[in-house]
Structure 1
Amino acid sequence: MHDNRELVEERIEKLRERVAARVYTVVAPLEASAWQVPGEPVPFADAAAAQYRPFPIDTLWGPAWSTWWLRLAGAVPAEFRGERIELRIDLGFVGDWAGNQSEGMVYTADGWPLKAVNPMNRTVPLTFGALAAERPLVSADGVVDLFVEAAANPDMTLKLGQSTPEGDTLTRSDRPVWRFGGAELVRREDEVWGLHMDLDVLDGLMRQLPEDSTWRATLLRGLEVAADVLDAEGIVAGAEAARALLLPLLESGAAGSAQRMTAVGHAHIDTAWLWPIRETRRKIVRTFSNVAALADEYPDFRFANSAPQHHQWVKQDSPEVYERVKRAIERGQWNFVGGMWIEPDATMPSGESLVRQFTSGLRFMQDEFGVTTDCLWLPDSFGYSGQLPQIARLAGMRWFFTQKLSWNRTNKLPHHTFWWEGTDGTRIWTHFPPCDSYDTIVSADEVLGAERNFKEKGLAKHSLLPYGYGDGGGGPVREMVERVRRFADLEGAPVVTHGTPAEFERAARAEHDPQVWSGELYLEFHRGIFTSLIDLKQGNRRSEAALQAAEWLATLAAAGGSAYPAEQLEDLWRRLLVLQFHDILPGSSTAWVNREAIAEFKAILAEVEALIGSAWEALSAEGGATVLNPSDVERAEVVEIDGGLQVVRVPALGSATAGPSDHGAAWAPVTLTTDGGQVTLDNALVRVVIDADGTISSLVDLGEDRDLLLPGCSANVLRLHPDHPSCFDAWELEAQYLRSGEELRGVDSIEVVLQDPLRARVDITRRFGASSVVQSVSLDAGSRTVDFEALVDWQERERIMKVGFPLDVRAKHALAEMQFGHVERPIAANTSWDDARFETCGHRWLHLSEPGYGVTLTTDSGYGHDVTPAGGSESAPTAGVNARLSLLRAPNSPDPAADRGQHRLRYSLTLGTDVAASHAAGVRLNQPLRVLPGTAEVRPLVALTPVGRESFAVLDAVKTAFDGSGDLILRLHEAAGARSRIRLDLDGDVQEVREVDLLEVGVDDPTQKLPATASTLELTLRPFQILTLRVRRAS
């Protein structure tokens, strides 16, 4: 037999194009008129009252981010009345990415929302389906009168990696971005539509099979026979006959050994990214309307959605669409996953922030719909903290879903289904879909590619196949649902069936007991996000710290009879949680998103400070001043009061009267001396020598008589590196930056700006290019901490600035604070996994130690850092480490002005530390003492005291219970990484203490034996355990 396969395959490809073109028959064109909204989007009533002008085909419209309302008018010809008629519209669609260009929402003439249109979903049923059943969309005499809210969203994906002003209304051009393609009434030819999908699946499958496969040859021959029929009879006339010929192929039956894939409709909608939140809210309405319509059309369709915040926005913005969503939930077609308020970054938010993601999300689901979820769904976050398994399990999650680590650029995880073991030992059943995506289209190459890729094949058969256009929304479409139906039992392919995530999890979990992966899930990609947009990082830190303080102080005030501001605090937390979305906090969004996020952080802080002021007013009396300590660390510090420096000693979660005291009487004063261009700061604990180039040449722990710097090295050295990632500017930092760069050694001036017995400070001014920095070095009396501040006028492009400390400490691991504990990472790059972690995330502190001695770097700004071996050369054999904080980046995309401007960055180095001292150093910099007018004695509501050797615990939250009962909620965690014995003392009489979960409900299997009534508790915590206690105080 002659081999003409290539020609036949080309013929089938062309046939598919011909068939696709005949799926719809044009019934009648519609006349379009338009009105451009002069500013931001308006309600339907405003649009309906506007003056419209003719809007013919090929009209250019825009500019970027503008909104246009179209009015479409026409009639169904008499001969087509009673047929299945749809609206088809082309706003100027190009390409195949549904949510990253022009989109529209179709309304009836009286403002009833119907369905959205986008490049991959262009039609709206008018005479059939659930919407037409609710009310007539076409009049009895065939008249059609519709409105379309059209969004001129630019395709910013074309600009990734480029500097463009189009991402912000403040900088966009005035040029139109789209060309109107027209609107028309069409009839779907159902047999041609079915043929179109038959060909799609069979031809796609055929091309995925091995060339020598018998089944491939059989499929090709069957397609060829069908093509012969269509050539002879025509597409429309021959469709039914051709389908009959193809039916035996579709009914061939999958092999008994075939993998099983559960297909779940999904619409990954970024809360903000290449569009602002105002556009996200419209995207959600558009997407939800499409998904609800699809659920009405296909009873077997199942959809999974995360982000309760998105549902709340739809409730506010489109009650009609919200009701359709509720009906789909009641039918079991719409399923919640995730549990979190939005899909956050999972590396930078604090542990308490991740807790509130769960509590806000799960409480909303329960209150609004009476449902919950046990699936943590985070498919697109840029790495996952090692404490996430424990946090998730305490929130009621049983399993975890993501696919992001398939983006790793160096190493691939050896599993798709496994037990993920967290830092504390908690395990959560985890699945990475072998399709390596959260937004497949159920194409044959994706389905069979997932089959080939599945790492557990031979041990397991089940995997998840999420499908639906994502990122910019859109969600599943008819074509995808039809493909699932055809892959349900097809020879040569896995068995693909509609199902819910829960149904998948039950089937997959029952198959086998998978292997264990322990520790953080580090993404070997997007490492620049720990530093990009430093204003966002600072806003997040400040907001988290302020909310912690506000809840504590409001709880104190409530104990004295004041009303607890539960609603205000919940609202502020939820607003913060939105800003922790995985493209907002990382700084990987457009200028518009970044601008609004920075403003929102400032607004949140202002409102939280107002709550703190109100609580303090309720607690205090007029006159004098009080120093408040909102942290769990007893503090003895130098603070500025009324323009002067004083030493204060404040108990944890307590207060002290501001004013002269003898607390620092035993402290040696700080001395500052100059000698030949060097400046020396000395407080009898630490001596710091600043050289003429402004760097530190000696850093001595006087109690140990030990210089902490490697011989011949300088510290507090600023270094600029070229930062030219090959893709994803704002996200990515690539290792080649380490191979080049320049140290900033040039000095404009070195100035002694403060010389006081309690504090000495030196300012070093440098200029580089169009930028400048004033570095401050200061030392307080009684302190083992050297404080640094950098006031930077940053005008760089595509550079990263780091500050380095080459330390004579034989550390083998770096300990970085993370959520509810710390992560330990090897410093030497002995393996490819170690080498790929050349930039990592840390929260407030970074601890480096050798047996018997440690030092700690703290920061109040970014999260990125690197630690590498240093020294150890032939001339200087001592090996230590070089620890560097990432201070600033300057990416060009998506925000062309990212990070340019003025910044105040603070960091510190503390000598002679352990983990507890590291925590104290981090608290000192990030939760400063507060000097407030008025006087009050604040008695700590709770105190933690270590009992066992090396025991240590941290108090994370002091608040009032969600349910309004007035119960006290305490959250703490073991922080040393050891089995710790802790005494917990409660202020006042206690009626009951219970161990509860994150939703503040009693647990079935408590880890602590708690006395029924006691003000002093003895706790035993396993390493890194999170514990939440509910305290009912005696009335």
Structure 2
Amino acid sequence: MNRTYIILLLTVFISTFSYAQHAYFADGYHGGIYGHYPVKWKTQFIVDQLSMHPDWRIGLEIEPETWDTVQIRTPEAYRQFKKMAAGEQVEFTNPTYAQPYCFNISGESIIRQFQYGIKKINTHFPDVRFVTYSVEEPCFTSCLPQILKLFGFKYAVLKCPNTCWGGYTSAYGGELVNWIGTDGTSILTVPRYACEKLEEGSTWQTTAWCNSESYLVACREAGIKHPVGMCYQDAGWKNGPWLGSGKNTKNRSHYIRWKDYIEKISVGKTDDDWYFSQEDMRVNLMWGSQVLQKIAQEVRTSENKIVMAEKISAIAHLDNGYRNNQADMDEAWRTLMLAQHHDSWIVPYNRLNGKVAWAEEIKRWTDNTNNIVDKLIKESMQSFYDQNIAVSGTNKQDEYIRFFNTLGTKRKEIANVLLPGEYASMDFKIYDWKGKEIDFQVEKEGEKNRLFFEVKVPPFGYSTYCIRKKESGKKNVPENRITSENKKSTGQEYVVENDLYKIVFDLSKGGTIKSLIAKKEKNKDFAVQTGEYALGELRGFFYEEGQFRSSAEHPAKMTVLRDNIYEKKVKIEGEIASHPFTQIVTLAKGTQRIDFDLTIDWKKNVGIGEYKEKHWRDNRRAYCDDRFKLSVLFPANLHSPHIYKNAPFDVCESKLENTFFASWDQIKHNIILHWVDLVEETGDYALALLSDHTTSYSHGEGYPLGLTAQYSGVGLWGPDYRITGQLKMKYAIIPHRGKWDEASIATASDSWNEPLLYSCHSSGKVDSKSFIDLHNTGYQISSAQFQDGRIILRLFNAEGDDKKHKIIFHIPLSGVEEVDLNGGCIRKKKIKMRAGVSEMDISMPRFGIKTFMLSFD
């Protein structure tokens, strides 16, 4: 053996030995009473293992409700663990109530997950503090830095080495990075190192999951002085220290808590600022599968309703002193948060505690949320009339309709109200709160009548309209009462036109849109006239037939459901691969948004996707490439368009050339949360797409924007994600000029998700009030809730700049505090008072959030 070779061997040995001496590992447990947590033995097992191995350290990501059960069923183990909970061996790293993914739910939901989770954990372990955010699954999103900092976290970890089924973050940087959030907030973070590769041939691991020698060598070569691996074990596993213990610990790794690693072991600081984009979330779920689609729709519906219930309760309190039942609201949030559990999205067919499937439990949970908030909304609206029963001047012959606006900006929309029965056969007039007579139309709908008129509602407030019956004996039919028979058309084309749009439907090609002219946008036609794809076309690969099928293959028939000056509504009936579908398209006067309601009546389960998957353990997956799933396509007449897409408290400009990928190790971020906006390279014209649920979209050169509608086939871990019933989904498009912020697409999305609420009553007062006005700020009211005698108001800068803006409160405030997300005072705000109106100046960066505690006499 020559001398050079010996020196080389010694160098490798010494460097490996030296490196292993300085390796670190974050061990811990993940799960809970809804995930995995064997209550009978687990807590005592943790206590015993910590006692047996004093050098062992663990991070805990245990569902907070778990401790309620542990306290009752194993009280002695609970008592022993309580002594250890705030000790040097344990760190609680994810206090969220139900361990949500975060990227797939609203920003407000993320905040509540932390608030309720922290409160629950601290009721059991009051000395526990939350310093480092670390999770087992990819439970990250781009807005987390500011949320974490506002909860008092100092550090974060972006690794999830042993559980990447749902995805992973981009590999970036070395030992530490400054994770820069959407609003510019920085949090010191341990990233998934640039050298931390995905395990070859694995569908769920990175190389950091067990501190292998190859991983540690790669870290050394990358200049990482204190390499750290990680594995949060499933709480159902009966393992103690993951890498062994004592002298037998793998590669002489040292167990650490993340807090101690960052503060005492790592380099401690860095100049490496990582401006983390939402596209650095490389996540992939079973988008388009019917079970996940329903879960996403159920969660979205409850998310919308619960924030509206809180807001309208706050409006009612400011108006008449109404107080909702906080215990009811807490329970509504509790079941919504459980429905947002990551397991419900990734393993919907798994049995929850061996009983019903996650998907069934989510339906029960969201139904419970909806029932509670529907009751609270009804009570809130009723409180206005309870106060007005004895109002002077109330005419018993009148009917009062009050419209409530939960947004911070004024709204002008078309009211669509089903009239009380006695109004179906009599004449009347409508007056606004100023006594001005309002134009309207009435359409016959069965035994009742539907009323249409334009309403104006001020920011975060209400407007009341009066329906006044004419004198008795006068039964002539008014000119504005119309009866429109449903008109059917089976010709080649049909034109639907209102004040904003002229749409030509090609019935010979399945009712696709041949022309979409936006009258107020210089008569721009947003539909392409030539090409392989058509606007509104349903298209997907039916792999049992071995071919793409399209709704444009067969003619459709059209029925006119409504045709008055306020609303145009048509029904298109066609088929896709012999399966009938119905699409209802609605245009409202003065409304940029065009609404679509799609139903497909599947005759049976059929396979839709790239191919029939058999070997589900391979990296290549049939459910990855959305071009093969059934999609609604939007080929738009736009020059070199690219994508903007919203995320929780964020809007991301896509840097992807396309969204296409076929395997787990090539995941690209292709998620539509609430909306995506397809905008020309010049920024002149754009087409926004809104979805009623979180799902995926497709787009790339030579392929139009597509909204994923259906996948059917083998999926994650091998279950057959079958079609089990109708496909039902709603979406909307907004043709516009300028970028998304210039066109107020975020506000338009808010209006779609939080529609005007209304109630009818035979007594009342014709008035209009605004309580909070965010006019011209670009801000949104993320939440407003009455709590402990004060209003907690959270604002989000969705579309505004970072300049100082004036917020107007039409209430006499006695004080305002800006608070963190734990409720701690950051600063007291100056307020100006004049004639019962309060004003406050605030500024925050784009995508920033601020919370205020409002006090009033």
- TM-score computed with the length of structure 2 as normaliser: 0.77
| Cα distance between partner residues in 2 of 1:442 and 1:815 | 33
Alignment equivalent of 2:749, drawn from 916, 919, 922: 922
Distance change >3 Å, CA 981–CA 888, structure 1 → 2: farther
Query: In the alignment, what sits opposite 1:429?
Result: 188
**Which amino acid counterpart does residue 44 of structure 2 have in structure 1?**
S
Deviation of the 1:859 alpha carbon? 1.7
| Cα distance between partner residues in 1 of 2:759 and 2:775 | 28
Alignment equivalent of 1:856, drawn from 664, 667, 688: 688
Deviation of the 1:302 alpha carbon? 2.4
Deviation of the 1:530 alpha carbon? 7.4
Mapping 1:76-475, distance limit 5 Å: 258=20, 260-269=22-31, 277=34, 280=35, 283-306=38-61, 307-370=63-126, 371-381=128-138, 384-404=140-160, 412-415=171-174, 417-432=176-191, 446-454=211-219, 457-466=222-231, 469-470=233-234, 473-474=236-237
Contact conserved, 2:798 with 2:846, CA < 8 A, in 1? yes
Query: In the alignment, what sits opposite 2:848?
Result: 1025
| Cα distance between partner residues in 2 of 1:567 and 1:711 | 57
SS in structure 2 at match of 1:640: strand
Alignment equivalent of 1:778, drawn from 561, 586, 610: 586
Deviation of the 1:888 alpha carbon? 2.7
CA RMSD of aligned residues (A): 4.0
SS in structure 2 at match of 1:955: strand
Query: In the alignment, what sits opposite 1:1002?
Result: 825
Deviation of the 1:526 alpha carbon? 1.8
| 1:760-811 superposed Cα distances (whole Å, 9 cap, x missing partner) | 2221223345743211122222223222110223443344321111112235
Query: In the alignment, what sits opposite 1:707?
Result: 525
Mapping 1:576-615, distance limit 5 Å: 576-586=336-346, 588-590=348-350, 592-615=357-380
Contact conserved, 1:531 with 1:864, CA < 8 A, in 2? no
Deviation of the 1:953 alpha carbon? 1.3
| Cα distance between partner residues in 2 of 1:607 and 1:440 | 41
Whether 1:538 aligns to 2:297 is: yes
Gaps of 5+ in 2: 352-356, 390-398, 419-448, 469-478, 610-628
Contact conserved, 2:211 with 2:228, CA < 8 A, in 1? no
Contact conserved, 2:464 with 2:768, CA < 8 A, in 1? no
| Cα distance between partner residues in 2 of 1:589 and 1:1016 | 52
Query: In the alignment, what sits opposite 2:261?
Result: 504
Aligned length: 738
Query: In the alignment, what sits opposite 2:430?
Result: none
SS in structure 1 at match of 2:103: coil
Identify which of structures 1 and 2 has the higher relative contact order when contacts are C-alpha pairs closer than 8 Å and 6+ apart.
Answer: 2
Query: In the alignment, what sits opposite 1:796?
Result: 606
Deviation of the 1:509 alpha carbon? 4.5
**Which amino acid counterpart does residue 689 of structure 1 have in structure 2?**
V
Deviation of the 1:330 alpha carbon? 5.0
Distance change >3 Å, CA 444–CA 884, structure 1 → 2: closer
| Cα distance between partner residues in 1 of 2:712 and 2:209 | 41
Contact conserved, 1:812 with 1:827, CA < 8 A, in 2? no
SS in structure 2 at match of 1:598: helix
SS in structure 1 at match of 2:245: helix
Contact conserved, 1:628 with 1:650, CA < 8 A, in 2? yes
| Cα distance between partner residues in 2 of 1:785 and 1:600 | 31
**Which amino acid counterpart does residue 718 of structure 1 have in structure 2?**
L
Contact conserved, 1:626 with 1:931, CA < 8 A, in 2? yes
| Cα distance between partner residues in 2 of 1:781 and 1:565 | 39
Distance change >3 Å, CA 363–CA 525, structure 1 → 2: closer
Distance change >3 Å, CA 1024–CA 525, structure 1 → 2: closer
Distance change >3 Å, CA 454–CA 723, structure 1 → 2: farther
Query: In the alignment, what sits opposite 1:742?
Result: 549
Contact conserved, 1:991 with 1:1012, CA < 8 A, in 2? no
* Higher mean C-alpha deviation, range 312-321 or range 798-807: 312-321
Query: In the alignment, what sits opposite 2:541?
Result: 721
Deviation of the 1:487 alpha carbon? 5.5
Deviation of the 1:427 alpha carbon? 1.8
Contact conserved, 1:673 with 1:680, CA < 8 A, in 2? no
Distance change >3 Å, CA 386–CA 335, structure 1 → 2: closer
SS in structure 1 at match of 2:49: helix
| 1:623-669 superposed Cα distances (whole Å, 9 cap, x missing partner) | 633222223343222232124141222223222335669xxx99xxx
| Cα distance between partner residues in 1 of 2:339 and 2:634 | 32
| 1:308-340 superposed Cα distances (whole Å, 9 cap, x missing partner) | 233334335543432232132154433211232
| 1:44-78 superposed Cα distances (whole Å, 9 cap, x missing partner) | xxxxxxxxxxxxxxxxxxxxxxxxxxxxxxxxxxx
Distance change >3 Å, CA 722–CA 979, structure 1 → 2: farther
**Which amino acid counterpart does residue 343 of structure 2 have in structure 1?**
D
Deviation of the 1:702 alpha carbon? 1.4
| Cα distance between partner residues in 2 of 1:440 and 1:681 | 53
Contact conserved, 2:188 with 2:269, CA < 8 A, in 1? no
| Cα distance between partner residues in 2 of 1:908 and 1:535 | 18
Deviation of the 1:753 alpha carbon? 2.4
Contact conserved, 1:259 with 1:462, CA < 8 A, in 2? no
Whether 1:650 aligns to 2:472 is: no
SS in structure 2 at match of 1:452: helix
**Which amino acid counterpart does residue 237 of structure 2 have in structure 1?**
G
Deviation of the 1:857 alpha carbon? 1.4
SS in structure 1 at match of 2:361: helix
Distance change >3 Å, CA 921–CA 563, structure 1 → 2: closer
SS in structure 1 at match of 2:673: coil
Query: In the alignment, what sits opposite 1:959?
Result: 785
| Cα distance between partner residues in 2 of 1:617 and 1:639 | 20
Contact conserved, 1:798 with 1:892, CA < 8 A, in 2? no
Deviation of the 1:416 alpha carbon? 5.6
Query: In the alignment, what sits opposite 2:505?
Result: 690
Whether 1:906 aligns to 2:733 is: no
SS in structure 1 at match of 2:82: helix
SS in structure 2 at match of 1:373: coil
| Cα distance between partner residues in 2 of 1:545 and 1:910 | 20
Contact conserved, 1:265 with 1:476, CA < 8 A, in 2? no
**Which amino acid counterpart does residue 325 of structure 2 have in structure 1?**
P
Contact conserved, 1:259 with 1:494, CA < 8 A, in 2? yes
| Cα distance between partner residues in 2 of 1:765 and 1:410 | 43
Gaps of 5+ in 1: 2-209, 218-251, 272-276, 725-736, 871-880
| Cα distance between partner residues in 1 of 2:573 and 2:11 | 74
| Cα distance between partner residues in 2 of 1:525 and 1:563 | 41
Alignment equivalent of 2:670, drawn from 821, 840, 847: 840
| Cα distance between partner residues in 1 of 2:168 and 2:330 | 39
| Cα distance between partner residues in 2 of 1:771 and 1:411 | 41
Distance change >3 Å, CA 580–CA 494, structure 1 → 2: same
| Cα distance between partner residues in 1 of 2:133 and 2:210 | 28
Distance change >3 Å, CA 283–CA 740, structure 1 → 2: farther
Distance change >3 Å, CA 832–CA 578, structure 1 → 2: closer
Deviation of the 1:405 alpha carbon? 7.8
Whether 1:817 aligns to 2:646 is: yes
Distance change >3 Å, CA 986–CA 891, structure 1 → 2: farther
Query: In the alignment, what sits opposite 1:571?
Result: 331
Contact conserved, 1:817 with 1:843, CA < 8 A, in 2? yes
Query: In the alignment, what sits opposite 1:679?
Result: 494
Query: In the alignment, what sits opposite 1:547?
Result: 306
- TM-score computed with the length of structure 1 as normaliser: 0.65
